[in-house]
Amino acid sequence: MFKDYLKNKYREILPVLADKAVEIAESMSADGDTKKQFAVNFILKLLPASSAVKVVLGYLLNEIISDAVEFALRRLKKTENVQYT
């Protein structure tokens, strides 16, 4: 139940953080897995919670954060494709 509450609460702010994380990660010269891990860590760093809670949130919300990063990356790529056509 608490896990569900956290998922719903952070689901609201994750897209905003994921967009910024992906934007920064894509400017890096690294492979895709490294960029994704950077984006996930970036989001965890910016979540409004104490350091101890962030460790727990990282565990509980890892799948949701990864999905938010993937979704933000797809949006970014789609936007880039529209701009260049």
Give the residue ranges of DSSP H helices in 1-85.
2-26, 32-46, 51-60, 62-83
Instruction: Give the contacts of 6 (CB within 8 A, at least 6 positions apart).
Output: 57, 60, 61
pLDDT in tens, 41-82: 999 898 878 888 888 878 888 888 899 999 999 998 888 776
Mean pLDDT of the chain: 85
Neighbours of 28 (CB within 10 A): 11
Q: Is pLDDT above 90 for 23?
A: yes
pTM greater than 0.85 (yes/no): no
Domains in the chain: how many in total?
1
| Structural domain range at position 61 | 2-83
